[in-house]
Each structure stands twice: as structure tokens, then as C-alpha cells.
Structure 1
Amino acid sequence: MAILGRIPTPARYEVCDVTVILLALGAACCLGTGFVFQQIAAQHAPPQDYLSLRLLLDLVRMPRWVAGIALMVAGMALGAVALGMGDITLVEPLMATNLLFAMALARRISRQRLGRSGWAGLWLLGGGVTAFIVAGRPHGSRNSEVGQLAQWLIMGGVLGAALLLAAVAKRERVHVSLEAALLGVAAGLLYGLQDALTRISGVRFGAGGWGALLTSWQPYAIVVLGVLALVMVQSAFESAPLRMSLPALTAAQPLAGIACGVGFLGDQLRVTTGALAWEAAGIAAVVAGIVLIGSHPAMPPGAGKAASARELQPR
């Protein structure tokens, strides 16, 4: 039996794209607010738990972190439904707007005004997502069969890059803020890959039910990737302010998801010169908006005790 091989693609979902968009935005709302709660709690975790499963055992005792995880799980569930109904190249850019919802909650907590940089970030992120979707017109292909070598190369490349970044971040000589950014990128890559496998699992479930789903390897890989990404995210939240890690995570996830979608899920984008130019401009605007929003003073400063304790540790 093929490991990935031919992925069954339903005739065409008779679901309005508006439903997919609303589901993806709902997922983004849950994820963004959940990330803020998680960061506020993670800054109080013991610094010695950095990049360790013990970190999750300590955090699970904090009600605010549990609430943040519950929101994140709800967001992932909504995202999985959206991925089951729509194409990953459409859903991923929309889920990147989770930073807008994180900013809204953080601004309410900190009572900071948006200012020029905040408004510029909002317009760049929203406009970039719109430009990419309108110009690229992402859609699925009836023929999603791609060579297994190409599939494994793409997945291995994304996973390998994430693990390499995490290894670099764990080196003692790396600055705290750089560690958080590297871990954010690494976690974002894993979440993007996880979204691609979620899409495959949804298609398999739709085609063959629970039997087809539970006898494939993708659901179990999703769990492993989720745990790895969660440890990386919480370590990043523990070690530095949210603005150091969340923008990197939010930017990396859609890029990895789009790469997987186009690479081995059969998603297609318009490739005319004008369309490619607008798609590139849209992605660039999304990244720039993410950076501006993530660096805004309204985002939780956090990580005071944890970061200080780690900085005082002998190198």
C-alpha cells in the first residue's frame, strides 16, 4: 500500500468559500487569544524546564495556561474542519491573522494605543492575505498524485529545518531573543506540516471512515508533531517576550503549509507574471505586518523572571 501515493480528492466540495473563510478566521481567533494566555502563564515556568517535556507538566498546573491550551485546541479543531472543506493554500494565510486577535486581546490587557506601527501592521497583514488570495486564486487539483520521493523530500526538509533551528536555539551562546525567534520559526514549520497531514487525514476519513484513518500513519505523526511544536512554543514563551516568538511562528506556519499544499497536496496557484508578482507582494506584506504587530508595545512583555534567571546562568 502506498505510504502517501494517490490521495483521494473529493469531486469538489459543495461548500461556499465563505464558510471556509469563517472557519479559518474562527480558528485564528482561538489561536491568537490562546497564545496570549499561554505566554502570560509560561513566563512563570522554571527556567530549567527549557525545551523539556517537564515544562508541560509544570504549566498544566496553571489555570490560565490550561485555558490557553483549550483555546488553541479549539482553534486547531476549527482549522482542521476548514482544511477538510477548503485548500490549504487558502486556509493557511487566513489562519495567519491569529496575530490580529492576539493584538486585540493584548491591547485590551495593556491599554496601549495602536499608533502608526500598529495600524500599519494591521493593514499590511490584512491587505497581504487579501492580495495573495485574490491574485493566486488557490484551488485544489483533481489529480493530486505526486511522486513519493518528492513528498518525503518536502516533508523531510520541513521537519529537518525545524529540528535544526531548535538545536541551534538550544546552544548556550545564542541570545535569548534570538532563541525565541528560532523556536518560533521551528514551531511554525511543524504546525504547517501538521496542517498538511491533517488535510490528508481528513480526506482519508471522508473516503474510508475511521478504519482508513486509524490504519494510516498520518494521525499519529500529527500527535508527535503537535507535542514537539508545543514544547518549542512554550519554551519560546518562557524565555522571551511574546513579540520575539509569535511573529516568527505566525509567519513560518503559512509558508510551510503553502509549500506542502503546492508540493504534494495538489493545490495550485495562478502562475502568470502578474499573479506571481502580487502573490509575492502579498506574502511579503503578510510577513512585514506580522513583524510590525508582533513588535508592538501592546504585546505582553512577559518572560521577566525566566529570562533574567537564564541570563544569569553561567555560560
Structure 2
Amino acid sequence: MISGDGAVTTALALVAACFIGAGFVAQQHVAYREPLAEMLHVRLLTHLVRRPVWLLGIAAMVCGQVLSAAALDESDLGRVEPLLATNLIFAFVIAHLVYKEWLSRAVWWGAVLVTGGVASFLTFGRPHGGQPAGPESPRWLAAGAVMALAAVLVLAAAPCSLRTKAILFSAAAGMMFGVQDALTRGTLLARGGGLGSVMWNWQPYALVVIAVLSLLLAQSAFDAAPIAISLPAITAAEPVIGIVLGVFVFAERLQITAGALAAEVAGLIMIVVGITVLGRSPYPGKPEPVASGGDGPS
């Protein structure tokens, strides 16, 4: 039986996931109408900020993040993060109901696999302990390694089809969002030394740069393909990278019992299979060029 506090935490996390999912749907709906030539260019963002629906999507995502922070304030990571992973399911439901996007049975199964895999990994991984990593700590090199891997994915996407570009850009965006989460945590920890320690710290400035790059990668993925293909890798990569950086940067420890390890591996396998299923789902493709702000496909 769920206690009163547990029920509040669950409700906050699910509402947060709904807002985040709705925000992604609105962003993708607008970004998909932009010309393909704008992928990975800052002008994509400069065009999108003029679109009211896209701004509503950003606002919805921010609301979701605020609610998720409130849920985390009431409970621990292991309970809240798996619920937040349902944002992919909410996104698909909202896209189907609001924009009448056709989603096959395979797409729904893929979404369930990705969501279930993320939830399994987070529930059984459940990082604990650890110690803060100061801005001068060499442990932050792990975040640099993640950024380098994200860059490799972006470069590898150059000769690929739009479908593959969307998946690779999405995965890179999710990885950068994970770095963003780690930098946010590092910046918040630096507040203990006062405002001066924050201002002379490299982390808040890096956080702004990473936030813009993450957003650009996500919108480029949304520009390339429908939400069933362009969103799942973000949902999967961000929390997984967040936990990985928690281990390497903040010296947190994962559950290492035989059962926990088996569940974590099974979760990762489910994520890979789910993204593979979604990546193979049919869609009519996006014609090139698409007039900016026009009535392109959605």
C-alpha cells in the first residue's frame, strides 16, 4: 500500500512526466516543419524561438522539470526517476490524440520496452553514497569523455539516412542532457561556498553552453524524423548517462548484487531492443526542402 507521502511523490512524478512528454511533442511538431538544412545550425533555434507552440513546448518541459525536482525533494532517485521515464509514453499518447499521429502496434511495444528498460535500470541501479566532486577534480574528465562520444555520434550521422540521423542526434542530445544534469548538480553543490565561489567556478558557464548544445541536438533530431524515431534515445540516454556520471564524477555506488546486476543488464537490453524496434518503424519521410514556417508534414 502506498503511503500518503508516497502517493504525493508518485503523482508529482507522473504529472512531471506528462508535462515533459507534452513539451517534447510540441517542440517536435514545430521543429519538423523547419528545413533540413537547418539541422545542427544555430539558426534553427533562432527560427524556433519565434514559434509560439515551440515556446509553449519549452515552457511545458520546464514545468515538468520543476515538478520532478519537487518530487525528488520528497523522495529518492530510485523511486522518482523510473516514473519520469514514462514521459515517452505520455509523448506518444499526446502526439496520437492532439496531432493524430498514426502509431503502429510495434511503435507502442517499442515505447514500452524503452520505458521499461529505463525504469528497470534506474530502479535496480539505484546509486547511493558518494562524495562531492569539486570543480578542480579530475573526475570531471568523465563528463568530457561523454561529450566526446556524443560528438562521435554526430559526426557518424553525416553520411546516414534521416532516420539514422534522428536516432544518433537524439542519443547525442540525451547524453548531453545527462552531462547537463551533472553540471547542474555540481553548480548547486558550489553554492555552499557562497555566490563568489559560484561566479568563479567554471561549471555554471559550461552548463549554459551544454544546455544550448543539448537543445540544438534535440531540435535537430526532431527536424529529421517523427517523434517515434527522434525522441526515444533522448529518454533512454539522459538518465543512464546521469547515473554513469554519478558513479564516475560523484563517486556514487550502484547496487552490485547478482539480482540487481541482472536487472540492470536486462534494462539496457530492453532499451536497445526498444530503440531498434522504433527505429525500424515506417514513416513517409520528410521531403527536402520544406519551407520554413510552412505547412510541412507533422
Q: TM-score, normalised by structure 1?
A: 0.76
Q: Does 1:181 align with 2:167?
A: yes
Question: Which residue, out of 163, 174, 186, partners 2:151?
Answer: 163
Q: After superposition, where does 1:192-231 map in structure 2 within 5 Å?
A: 192-205=178-191, 207-208=192-193, 210-231=195-216
User: Matched residues in 2 for 1:220 and 1:107: separation?
Assistant: 38
For residue 304 of structure 1, what is the aligned residue in structure 2? Answer: 286
Check conservation: 1:242, 1:294, Cα contact below 8 A: no
1:34 paired to 2:23? yes
Counterparts in 2 of 1:234 and 1:143: CA distance versus 1, 3 Å: closer
Whole-Å separation in 2 of the counterparts to 1:143 and 1:17: 27
Render the CA deviation track for 1:46-93: whole Å, top value 9, x for unaligned.
333221111111112221111112112223334455566766666554
**5+ long unaligned stretches in structure 2:** 292-298
- Residue 240 of structure 1 is matched in structure 2 by 225
Give CA deviations for 1:4-59 in whole Å, capped at 9, x if unaligned: xxxxxxxxxxxx67666554444332221111111111122233322111111111
Residue 191 of structure 1 and its aligned partner are, at CA, apart by: 0.2
Q: Supply the RMSD in Å over aligned alpha carbons.
A: 3.3
Question: Mapping of 1:5-154 within 5 angstroms?
Answer: 22-81=11-70, 92-109=81-98, 111=100, 116-117=105-106, 120-121=109-110, 123-125=112-114, 127-136=116-125, 138-141=126-129, 143-144=131-132, 148-149=137-138, 151-154=139-142
- Over the matched positions of the two proteins, sequence identity in percent amounts to 42
1:228, distance to aligned residue in structure 2 (A) = 0.5
Amino acid at match of 2:188: G
Runs (5+) with no aligned partner, structure 1: 1-15, 310-315
Distance 1:188 1:225 in 2: 11
Using the TM superposition, give the Cα deviation of residue 275 of structure 1 relative to its aligned residue in structure 2, in angstroms.
1.6
CA distance in 2, matches of 1:85, 1:303: 44
1:32 alignment partner AA: G
- Matched residue pairs, number? 286
**Rounded Cα–Cα distance in structure 2 between residues aligned with 1:23 and 1:266:** 28
Do 1:240 and 1:302's aligned partners in 2 also have CA atoms closer than 8 Å? Answer: no
Please report how far the alpha carbon of residue 306 of structure 1 lies from its aligned counterpart in structure 2 after TM superposition: 4.5
- Check whether the contact 1:42–1:234 (CA below 8 A) recurs between aligned residues: yes
